[in-house]
Structure 1
């Protein structure tokens, strides 16, 4: 306490000077319209800037919750869009999809907790497991495109075989040519993927979209796989050599959607029955 008193005693002249300056400043502002308006505008400008910085800091701190909310909204929109597309497929006018068939895909949002892209066979771990209805074989997509397929699960986590895997294949279709092929990663660049088995007789151009076909039960048809980047010819073969820009950026993957095909078990059971009767 004594040191504080000594400080004020030693600094009494400076403190008196500051107080008089503040008093003078107060009288100038209150007795002059010009300086009063100037002070008001300046203080408002700086106050607005400080408020903007404060809001920006708060928004940044809330980004995690905002991203989670957006992921939930995308989940709902994905489910609705898929239902509408399946109820009105590109088919003859007299065809009408069964309501159960049109509503067979269900989406569960999950957060990525681990992800690799540097290996020949890459995997992704998410924070949802069997307690959330996840099971092996389910497809996984991102807000922009295909991600992979669930490999194993426990109660709270699941491991996904990434599309960046040397043995993983995705039945895919060129949108314009309507030709079905197989998307497969060549193990080189995590931003590129190959599209195989597209006949040279089919016209292909750069920028064409490639989506999941309707001949697999893992993904809803129409999910973007990528866009054609380069077009070549496979040596001694009758197929295009197509390289695609992957739709999903795996280096910044945060949230994914696990796709449940509610009718997949029925389809698989029937197809296996046919195989055993051959």
Structure 2
């Protein structure tokens, strides 16, 4: 019986093969490849050894190898840094948007606290700090329609309400129209019904900016008296006569000046400062005193 049991016992190698057949097969294939390619592998090792001795015993080849290896290493490092920077662009853009929000808030507070005027007027802190900003990302945008809109990734859960103004780091964008909890639709300034009170800075004249519905890079500025001197390149900004946008937000610059006979106003074309085709981040403007201003102005209408 013992002899019979001993004769049926498998060798340890066969037991390992039964337990791990794929692993065992790969190991056998690896050793078989090394055995078949031993001459080539020995040749490569000898070449590497010769190269090592040549570089380390000859000053010219040592310097050449050092310079060449450093050049390729620097190139590889540059490619690696470029790839890393590209993958971090989303976070960089978000950080820049947050920083622009902080700077825009500070600038608006300074402008509202001490407006550029020849009087000694100085606003109180409540009025100067009435504008607050929320960073939002544009997730949909149209520029080729007669009435264009944007969609942003902030809604009522973030304090966004219909009627709020929307600006970008380069100028005005539009006004919030609809909201749900996490998204909002913005009426773009590239809309047939959009109007905004604008100030021609150099001429110190107030007019109305509107989009004629043709070129997404141009608006029209109307109601500017032809008696006022106007030149190409003059800045057009939001005026103090609206509660949606802070005053002093750039709209664009005069690109064409036309004067029609028997007309009391200039016909001005404004090159928009905001490039809507590449718009990525915007700031939603919350005027904390807009409701109080609206209530007071409604009393005038009720008395008529």
In structure 2, the partner of 1:105 is 131
- Given the alignment, which residue of 8, 14, 22 partners 2:48? 22
Residues 1:179 and 2:212 aligned together? no
**What is the rounded CA distance, in whole Å, between the counterparts of 1:235 and 1:156 in structure 2?**
51
Number of equivalenced pairs: 278
Q: Secondary structure at the match of 2:74?
A: helix
In structure 2, the partner of 1:45 is 71
1:274 CA displacement: 2.1
Once the two structures are superposed, what CA deviation does each residue of 1:19-56 show, in whole Å capped at 9, x if it has no partner?
Answer: 11101001112222332232222212211111111011
Q: Secondary structure at the match of 1:37?
A: helix
**What is the rounded CA distance, in whole Å, between the counterparts of 2:249 and 2:228 in structure 1?**
21
**What is the rounded CA distance, in whole Å, between the counterparts of 1:8 and 1:236 in structure 2?**
97
- Given the alignment, which residue of 49, 56, 60 partners 1:34? 60
In structure 1, the partner of 2:17 is none
Higher mean displacement: 37-46 or 21-30? 37-46
* Greater Cα radius of gyration, structure 1 or 2: 2
In structure 2, the partner of 1:54 is 80
**What is the rounded CA distance, in whole Å, between the counterparts of 1:203 and 1:113 in structure 2?**
41
**What is the rounded CA distance, in whole Å, between the counterparts of 1:96 and 1:25 in structure 2?**
79
Once the two structures are superposed, what CA deviation does each residue of 1:238-264 show, in whole Å capped at 9, x if it has no partner?
Answer: 211111111100000000000011111
Change (3 A) 1:234 1:120: farther
1:235 CA displacement: 5.7
Residues 1:221 and 2:247 aligned together? yes
Higher mean displacement: 72-81 or 31-40? 31-40
Higher mean displacement: 122-131 or 2-11? 2-11
1:13 CA displacement: 3.1
In structure 2, the partner of 1:148 is 174
1:5 CA displacement: 4.5
* TM-score in terms of structure 2 length: 0.88
Once the two structures are superposed, what CA deviation does each residue of 1:124-156 show, in whole Å capped at 9, x if it has no partner?
Answer: 000000111110111000000010000011110
In structure 2, the partner of 1:128 is 154
1:1-278 pair list within 5 angstroms: 1=26, 3-234=29-260, 236-278=262-304
1:16 CA displacement: 2.3
**What is the rounded CA distance, in whole Å, between the counterparts of 2:30 and 2:159 in structure 1?**
67
1:170 CA displacement: 0.8
* TM-score in terms of structure 1 length: 0.96
Q: Secondary structure at the match of 1:68?
A: helix
Unaligned runs of 5+ in 2: 1-25
Find runs of 4+ consecutive structure 1 residues off by over 4 angstroms: 1-6
